[in-house]
Amino acid sequence: MTPTSPDRIRNVALISHGGAGKTSLAEAMLFDAGAVQRLGSVDAGTSTLDYDPDEQKRHQSINLAIGTLEADGARITIIDTPGYADFQADVIEALAAADAAIVVVDASAGVEVGTQEVWKLAEERSLPRFIFVNKMDRENASYDATLDALKGAFGPKIAPVYLPIGSAESFRGYIDVIEQHANIYEDGKPKEVPIPDEMRGAEESRREALVEAAAEASDELMTRYLDGEELNDAEIEAALHKGTREGSVVPVFVGSALKNIGVRELTAMIARHVPSAAEAGARTTTDDKRIEPDPSGPFVGQVFKTTADPFVGRLTYFRVISGTLHSQAHLWNASRKEEERIGNILGLQGKEQVNLPQAGPGDVVAVAKLTSTQIGDTLVGDRSQAVGLPPFQFAEPSLQVSIEPESKADLDKLGQALQRMLEEEPSARIHREEGTGETILTAMGDAHVDVLVDRLKRKFGASVKTGSPRVPYRETIRKPAKIDNRFKRQTGGHGQFGHVVIEFEPLPSGTGFEFGNKIVGGVVPRQYIPAVEKGLREAMIEGVLAGYPVVDMKATLVDGSYHTVDSSEMAFKVAASQALKRAFPEADPTLLEPILEVEVVVPDAYMGDVMGQITSKRGHVLGMDSGGGMQRLKAQVPQAEMFHYATELRSITQGRGRFSWKLDHYAEVPHTISEKVIAEHEVKVAAGEKH
C-alpha cells in the first residue's frame, strides 16, 4: 500500500441491526474490487472480516474488523462492526475512526431497534450516512415498506438513488434514478437496459423526491427547482455530494450482498460522494484547537481499538488525524503522559497485515506491542506540542455475574488474563465484592458475558465458571448492649488472659464503625487497647448473623482487667472478638441489603410494563420525566432483584430500553428474606463452608 493523499481516502463504517448483512456486503465489496481473491461466506466461516474463532462459531460479528480496497481513484477503508447491542462499544470505536457511515437495512425487516440505535450513534458524531437496503432477494422483502419506515424514522432527508427491479426471487437489478437507466444482472454481471415501462411512474416520482432533497443543499438549486427549472444530472450529483457531506441528504441504495447485486455501484458511490479525509476537515481538541488533516503538520493520531493478537501480541489501532508517521518512530501519549516506541506500521485486511512505510492523515492503521496506550488515547509526535482529542463515551455495562477459576492453574493466570481482557473491552468491568469475596464481571448482556468467558480461555488461557452473584448484605444492630467478656486459657506455662467490658450501640446508616476508649486508671494497659480495636474490626468482617460485614456500630471499651504474666495482645483480640459475638443477640441484630438508584429510559409504549416490573421487584418509584417519545423513570430497587434486569428489560422492550444504576444506600431486609439468608448461612457453616 503506497502513501495516499487525504483527498483520495474514504473511511466508512458499516453499521446496522444484527443480521442485516454488513459482513457479507463488505466481503462482496472487497471481492469486486480485487482486494480479496475469493468471495468468502459468513455462514461457512470463510469471510475476510469475521476471522475471530468466536465469530466463526456464532456466525455473527462480535468485533470491528478492517478491510481496504481501491476503486474509482479512491482508497476505501471499510470498518465492519457488530450489529448485536451487547457489542455496541465496537460501533462507537469504528465511528470514531470513520468519516461516514453506511447503514445497512434488511429489506424484509425494515427499520429495527438496532437501526435506530446505530443511527443515533452516527448522529451524535454528525457523520454523513448512506443507506443500503440489503437482502432484496429475501422472501417478504419490501422496498416500499422499508423506504416508508426509513422516512418515518429519519425524516425527509431520506433520498432514494436506486430503485429495485423485482423483489425476493424476482429481484434482478435496479434503476438509477439520477442517470435514468436500469441495470439487470445476468450471470452475476450488470447489463444496462432501458427502464421497464411498468416502473416509469415510480421512477419519475422517486427522481422528483431525490431532486427536491438534493436541492435542499443549495439555495441556488432550490430557487431554480421551485421555479420549475429542470436540473441536469451533474447538478443533481453535485448537490447530492454536498448534501451528503452536510447531512441534509441520506442517499438510499439497494441490492443483495449474497447475490452481489448493487454492490459495485455502492462502492462507486462511496468513492464519489462520501467525504474524503481532506473534506471531512479538522478535528477539535479538548481545548478547542482545530487539527487540520495536513500531511506536513505535526503528527496527531487517536487510538480507537486495542486487541490481543495471538501472533504479534497486543495490537493498537489508530486513525491518523494530522502529520505523517514513519515506522520505528517515538511518539508521546498525551493522554497518559508516557512515551511509546512505534515499530512497524501495519495495514489491515481482516486478519492479514502488511507493513507500511508511513501513514498520513486519514489512514487507519495498527502497530504492535505498545506498552501503556489505551482506547481513546491521543498520540502525538512532538511532546512540546501535545494536544488531546476528546475520549470516547461508552455505555455503562449493567449485567453482573460472578466468576471463579475452574482450577488452581486458572487461578494463577486469572489476574493477568482479566487485566489484558479489560484493555480491549471498554464496556466490561471487574471488581471484587467486599463482604462476599466474589469476583464480579459486569458486562452489556448475556451474549457479551459468553464471549468474554470464551475469550478468557482461548486468548488468555484462564477458564472460569460464571454464576449469579451473592447479594452483598451487611449486618448491624438496632439496640445498645453492654458485654463483660473474660478470655482465659491455661495450657501449661504462660496462659492467655484478657478481660474487656464493651458497650455497643447503633450508629446512623452509612456511618461505618467507630471505636471509643474510656479506660481510666490503667485497668487495661495502653499497649493492649489497639488489640481490642483490631479484634473487633477482624470479627466484624465476617459478621455474626450470616457471615456478612458489620456496619454502622460504635464499640466503646469502658472497663476490663489484665494479668501481669498471662495477658497479651492476642488475648485481648480474642476477648474483644468474643464480646462482639455475644453482643449481637442482645442488640436486636438485623440484615441490611443494598438499595440501588435505578434510571430506566424506555419508549412511551413500554412504560406500563416497566412500572409493573419495577414494582414487582420491591421497587419504589421516585419520579418520571418524558420527552421525545421516551420516558425516564427513576426508582430505588433492592440489588437482590436486579442481577438479571438487563436481560429482562431487553426482553420486555424488544431491546429499546436501557438503564443505569448506582448504589444509593443500605436498608433493612424484610424479615422473611433475612430468615432465609440466615438459615442458608447456618447450613453452610454446619457443612464446613464459608462464603
CA distance 529 to 527: 6
Fold classification of 475-587 (topology level): Ribosomal Protein S5; domain 2 (3.30.230)
Cβ neighbors of 472 (< 8 A, separation 6 or more) are 433, 434, 435, 436, 548, 594, 639
pLDDT tens column, 91-105: 999 999 999 999 999
What pLDDT score does 309 carry? Answer: 75
The answer, as to whether pTM is greater than 0.75, is yes
CATH topology of 399-467 equal to that of 591-672?
yes
CA distance 502 to 516: 9
CA distance 466 to 644: 13
* pLDDT at position 691 over 60: no
Strands 496-506 and 283-284: unpaired
What pLDDT score does 689 carry? Answer: 67
3-class SS at 112? coil
Q: Which residue type is seen at 411?
A: L
pLDDT tens column, 344-378: 999 999 999 999 999 999 999 999 999 999 999 99
Grid cell 446496522 is found at 16
CA distance 496 to 478: 33
Report CA-CA distances (Å) from 92 to 14, 133, 448: 12, 22, 16
CB 59 within 8 Å of CB 100: no
Q: Grade residue 173 by pLDDT with cuts at 50, 70 and 90.
A: very high
Tell me the backbone φ, ψ of residue 680, rounded to 5 degrees: -65, -40
What pLDDT score does 343 carry? Answer: 93
Average pLDDT, the chain: 92
C-alpha cell recorded at residue 81: 462492526
Report CA-CA distances (Å) from 609 to 605, 620, 645: 9, 15, 13
What pLDDT score does 180 carry? Answer: 86
Report CA-CA distances (Å) from 653 to 63, 146, 442, 605: 25, 22, 21, 9
CA distance 379 to 22: 30
* pLDDT at position 578 over 90: yes
What pLDDT score does 207 carry? Answer: 78
CA distance 96 to 90: 10
Burial class for 517, CB neighbours closer than 10 Å (0-12, 13-18, 19+): middle
CB 573 within 8 Å of CB 518: no
CB 65 within 8 Å of CB 350: yes
3-class SS at 602? strand
Long-range interactions of 338-344: CB distance < 8 A, separation 24+: 338/371, 338/372, 339/383, 340/370, 340/371, 340/372, 340/373, 340/379, 342/367, 342/370, 343/367, 343/368, 343/369, 344/368
Assigned CATH for 591-672: 3.30.70.240
* pLDDT at position 75 over 80: yes
Q: Grade residue 1 by pLDDT with cuts at 50, 70 and 90.
A: very low
Least trusted range by pLDDT, from 50-54, 400-404, 462-466, 617-621: 50-54
Per DSSP, 639 falls in state G
Tell me the backbone φ, ψ of residue 288, rounded to 5 degrees: 65, 25
CB 10 within 8 Å of CB 74: yes
The strand pairing partners of 98, in sequence order, are none
Grid cell 481513546 is found at 376
Q: Grade residue 281 by pLDDT with cuts at 50, 70 and 90.
A: confident
* Helix ranges (DSSP H) in 355-478: 408-423, 446-460
C-alpha cell recorded at residue 541: 468482617
CA distance 413 to 4: 44
Q: Does domain 6-196+249-280 have CATH number 3.40.640.10?
A: no
CA distance 19 to 14: 12
Q: Which residue type is seen at 654?
A: Q
Q: Could you say which of 3.40.50.1820, 3.30.450.20, 3.30.70.870, 3.40.50.720 is the CATH number of the domain covering 399-467?
A: 3.30.70.870
Q: Where are the domains of the chain?
A: 6-196+249-280, 283-385, 399-467, 475-587, 591-672
What pLDDT score does 237 carry? Answer: 85
CA distance 74 to 363: 13
* Helix ranges (DSSP H) in 389-445: 408-423
* Helix ranges (DSSP H) in 384-525: 408-423, 446-460
Count of CB atoms within 10 A of residue 48's CB? Answer: 24
* pLDDT at position 134 over 50: yes
Fold classification of 283-385 (topology level): Elongation Factor Tu (Ef-tu); domain 3 (2.40.30)
